[in-house]
Amino acid sequence: MAEKLALVGIGKIARDQHIPSIESNPDWSLQAAVSRHASIDGLDHYEALDELLDSRPDITTISLAIPPQPRFEYAAQALKAGKNVMLEKPPGQSLAECYTLENLAKEHGVSIFATWHSRYADCVPDLKSWLSSRVIRKLLITWKEDVRRWHPGQEWIWEPGGMGVFDPGINALSILTEIMPYPVHLSEATLEFPENRSTPIAADLTFVDPTGADMSAVFDWREDGPQNWDIDVETDQGRARLSEGGAKLEIDGTLVKQGADHEYANLYARMAELVKHGKSDMDLSPMIHVCDAFSLGRRLTTDAFHY
The residues of the chain that CATH labels 3.40.50.720 are 3-114
- The residue type of 10 is I
For residue 64, the SS3 value is strand
pLDDT of residue 1: 85
End-to-end CA distance of the chain: 46
**What is the percent of the chain where pLDDT is above 90?**
96
Residues 48-97: pLDDT tens digits?
999 999 999 999 999 999 999 999 999 999 999 999 999 999 999 999 99
pLDDT of residue 302: 98
Question: Does CATH number 2.60.120.560 belong to domain 3-114?
Answer: no
Sorted by sequence, the CB contacts under 8 Å of residue 170 that are 6+ apart come out as 89, 90, 116, 163, 286, 287, 289, 290
- pLDDT classification of 39: cutoffs 50, 70, 90: confident
Of the residues 83, 89, 144, 248, which is catalytic? 89
What span, in angstroms and rounded, lies between the C-alpha atoms of 194 and 305? 6
Q: Mean pLDDT across the stretch 263-288?
A: 98
| Best CA proximity match to 64, nearest among 41, 51, 37, 83 | 83
- pLDDT classification of 29: cutoffs 50, 70, 90: very high
What span, in angstroms and rounded, lies between the C-alpha atoms of 14 and 286? 22
**89 in active site:** yes
Mean per-residue pLDDT of the chain: 97
Residues 179-218: pLDDT tens digits?
999 999 999 999 999 999 999 999 999 999 999 999 999 9
pLDDT of residue 284: 98
- pLDDT classification of 128: cutoffs 50, 70, 90: very high
For residue 132, the SS3 value is coil
Look at the pTM and tell me if it is higher than 0.75. yes
**What is the percent of the chain where pLDDT is above 70?**
100
Kindly tell me if the per-residue pLDDT of 301 is higher than 90. yes
Instruction: Residues 118-258+292-302: name the CATH superfamily.
Output: Dihydrodipicolinate Reductase; domain 2 (3.30.360.10)
The residues of the chain that CATH labels 3.30.360.10 are 118-258+292-302
Residues 239-261: pLDDT tens digits?
999 999 999 999 999 999 999 88
